[in-house]
Amino acid sequence: MTTAGEPPKKCSYLCTDEEQACSMTKGGIYLPLKEHIEMFCKTPHFLECHQYVRGSKIGAKTSLEEDYRDNGRRQFRRIADLLSLSLANCDEAGRPCQLIDGNACTVDLSPGGMRLESHHRLSTHDLISFTFGPHFSTPNLTGVGQIMWSTAANEPDLFHAGLAFLDATTKQAIGHHMGVPV
């Protein structure tokens, strides 16, 4: 299992070392060259692989466009995506004032918000500034959101929280990252 703040070490879609096939594609097969496997599939650089990026965007777009019902709670479907980020408390004007967790990560996200994992319990209704790490499609993207809920995770000293984005710029950047219009 990947720990909070630690990006995956290799692509989970590479079937096996023997087969060297990519299971990202549907209705076909992609057999990457050995050089491609060594450069992307077996390293954290798989996030930059054209097949992975294309497949992630198509999957995100399809799942967001499906007839999705969540008892009216959510405007957008959440997509699992593990991204490192740092969190800081904000003052009333939304300016970051104190680092809370430099090793937090997303569990899933949507253009409306994200579920995140932190080593610190976050309080409902607090304003939180977040900054994505260098592996995000817009490196070091910063935004502000409001904590909507918070609960203990299944592992000791880890907490999950739901954060709603407050500004259109962040919503558009996340939508762009996911490959969906907002």
Q: Is it the case that residue 159 has pLDDT exceeding 60?
A: yes
Q: Is it the case that residue 63 has pLDDT exceeding 80?
A: no
User: Residue 70 falls within a domain, yes or no?
Assistant: no
Q: What are the tens digits of pLDDT across the range 27-59?
A: 566 788 888 888 888 888 777 777 777 666 545
User: Residue 169 falls within a domain, yes or no?
Assistant: yes
User: Residue 37 falls within a domain, yes or no?
Assistant: no
User: Residue 91 falls within a domain, yes or no?
Assistant: yes
pLDDT score, position 39 = 83
pLDDT grade for 80, boundaries at 50, 70 and 90:
confident
Three-state SS sequence of 41-81: HCCHHHHHCHHHHHHHHHHHHHHHHCCCCCCCCCCCCCEEC
User: Residue 66 falls within a domain, yes or no?
Assistant: no
pTM of the model as a whole: 0.61
Looking up tokens 């790490």, which residue turns up? 133
Q: Is it the case that residue 137 has pLDDT exceeding 80?
A: yes
User: Residue 59 falls within a domain, yes or no?
Assistant: no
Closest by alpha carbon to 167, among 159, 175, 155? 175
Domain of residue 172, residue span? 79-178
pLDDT grade for 163, boundaries at 50, 70 and 90:
very high
Q: Is it the case that residue 131 has pLDDT exceeding 60?
A: yes
User: Residue 133 falls within a domain, yes or no?
Assistant: yes
In degrees rounded to 5, what are phi and psi of residue 167? Answer: -125, 155
For residue 118, with 0-12 CB atoms within 10 Å meaning exposed, 13-18 middle and 19 or more buried, which class applies?
buried
Q: At what angle do helices 50-65 and 168-178 cross, to 10 degrees?
A: 120
pLDDT score, position 2 = 47
Number of compact structural domains in the chain:
1
Q: Is it the case that residue 62 has pLDDT exceeding 50?
A: no
DSSP, residue by residue, 84-104 = EEEEEEE-TTS-EEEEEEEEE
User: Residue 26 falls within a domain, yes or no?
Assistant: no
CATH number at residue 113: 2.40.10.220
Eight-class DSSP state of 112: T
pLDDT score, position 67 = 41
Q: Out of 48-52, 100-104, 137-141, give the one with best mean pLDDT.
A: 100-104
pLDDT score, position 72 = 53
pLDDT: which is higher, 173 or 16 = 173
Eight-class DSSP state of 121: P
